Structure 1
Amino acid sequence: MTAGMNVLGAAILGLALATAAPALASQDNVKAKPPADLSGLHAFDLRVGKWRVSHRRLKERLAGNTEWQEFTGEQVWWKTLDGQGNADDNLLRLPAGDYWGFTMRAYDPATGLWAIWWLDSRNPHGPLDPPVKGRFIDGVGTFYADDTLRGKPIKVRFTWSGITATSAHWEQAFSPDGGKTWETNWYSDFTKAD
């Protein structure tokens, strides 16, 4: 991993600890309500660590394109929010050049849903993508969002599966017709690096 990943991770961890300190100090006086649904809380726990990534994605999405790009990447994943969240820093080595992405996830025990946000280094001050939200059922996590592509509304679906201590699989799909049909346009396979 590069020094940039370590610096970014340290900065985010420092910010998280600084903002969590007042809440942690006052928790002794507050009795927490039991969560409504913890079935998916630990679904991502095995993802913590360093990973090598093999990516395969369509060159153009929802354009009738059949040309696939294959490239590699690296990822570092850690827990946040006392286990109710996690984040990862990603280096994507596309044929056109490297870029970085950052993912944030938060679990809501009242609904049993995860929300996932993506921040892209190619547009660091742009708005975050709308979060995909969903849950795990029988080891498969499915997450949805409404978004736009080339100015037209689409649905986005992320699917996580095969999460083990040494591997995982992720897919992204878009639907131009409200979820009637889906084009899977990105596959990522993760192998533990540490």
Structure 2
Amino acid sequence: MNRRILRRTWAIPFLLTAIGATATGAPPAPSDPASAAPMAAQRDGSHDFDWEIGTWATSVKVLRNPLSPKATWVEFNGTSVIHALAGGRANLVDLDVNGPAGRVRGVSLRLYNVEGRQWSLNFANMGDGLLTPPSVGEFKNGRGEFYGTDTLRGRAILVRFVILDVTPDSARFEQSYSADGGKTWEVNWIATDRRLPAKP
């Protein structure tokens, strides 16, 4: 099993940030509050993961040896338990799945950045106990997209993690790699979750 793939999950990202600056050589003129256009209200996404709190049956497909001619899919089944932390501005995923290729146990700590209004997804495979670089992003129209960077076989790559098809009782998670700067993507992790009834 490719340990790099297993260390990243939704449960896993290159932060696309545009930084602009202008220089005129003279200090800017004072703005007129009466004529200034109102700033667009920024969306508070601190509760975007509230729907996921609870226990889920999880089916996972993992692409071994991604971005290579030797890539093959393996499958796992088990559970994901999501715990709310800090009033919803953080949560912890406990993943435990098994299959013919072995067992995968991992944890993902999701943290909400209040100022940036984005989430970071921080995953560790308990096979080695190491955190991967975080995936950073946000939800728009019910779809979460998170991006980051990593290395694969010594080569820098981009990582995209997407949460889609979200309902109160189901969701899909996909992770993809790109070795050409985001021109093309190869999916290497697909997880489908279905909510399990709460224990009495």
TM-score range, shorter chain: 0.7 to 0.9
Report the 3-state secondary structure (helix = DSSP H, G, I; strand = E; otherwise coil) of the residue aligned with 1:77.
Answer: strand
Checking the alignment, whether the CA contact within 8 Å between 1:47 and 1:163 is kept in structure 2 is no
Where does structure 2 lack aligned partners over 5 or more consecutive residues? Answer: 1-40
Distance in 2 of aligned mates of 1:49 and 1:58: 27
Q: How many Å apart are 1:37 and its aligned residue?
A: 3.9
The answer for the alignment partner of 1:121 in structure 2 is 126
The answer for the alignment partner of 2:51 in structure 1 is 46
The answer for the alignment partner of 1:83 in structure 2 is 88
Correspondence 1:137 to 2:175? no
Q: Deviations over 1:21-46 (max 9, x none)?
A: xxxxxxxxxxxxxxx84432222111
Matches within 5 A, 1:1-194: 37-124=42-129, 126=130, 128-194=131-197
Q: How many Å apart are 1:121 and its aligned residue?
A: 1.0
Report the 3-state secondary structure (helix = DSSP H, G, I; strand = E; otherwise coil) of the residue aligned with 1:61.
Answer: coil
Report the 3-state secondary structure (helix = DSSP H, G, I; strand = E; otherwise coil) of the residue aligned with 1:40.
Answer: coil
Checking the alignment, whether the CA contact within 8 Å between 2:74 and 2:101 is kept in structure 1 is no
Checking the alignment, whether the CA contact within 8 Å between 1:77 and 1:87 is kept in structure 2 is yes
Report the 3-state secondary structure (helix = DSSP H, G, I; strand = E; otherwise coil) of the residue aligned with 1:170.
Answer: strand
Q: Deviations over 1:64-116 (max 9, x none)?
A: 34532122121110111221111110102132221310000011121111000
Checking the alignment, whether the CA contact within 8 Å between 1:37 and 1:111 is kept in structure 2 is no
Percent identity for Structure 1 against Structure 2: 37
Quote the RMSD (CA, aligned, Å).
1.5
Q: TM-score scaled by structure 1?
A: 0.76
Report the 3-state secondary structure (helix = DSSP H, G, I; strand = E; otherwise coil) of the residue aligned with 2:48.
Answer: coil
**Cα gap change, 1:150/1:66 in structure 2, threshold over 3 Å: closer, same or farther?**
closer
Checking the alignment, whether the CA contact within 8 Å between 1:74 and 1:91 is kept in structure 2 is yes
Higher helix share: 1
Where does structure 1 lack aligned partners over 5 or more consecutive residues? Answer: 1-35
Q: How many Å apart are 1:171 and its aligned residue?
A: 0.1
Checking the alignment, whether the CA contact within 8 Å between 1:58 and 1:65 is kept in structure 2 is no
Report the 3-state secondary structure (helix = DSSP H, G, I; strand = E; otherwise coil) of the residue aligned with 1:163.
Answer: strand
Q: Which has the larger radius of gyration?
A: 2
**Cα gap change, 1:66/1:148 in structure 2, threshold over 3 Å: closer, same or farther?**
closer
Distance in 2 of aligned mates of 1:132 and 1:155: 10
Q: TM-score scaled by structure 2?
A: 0.74
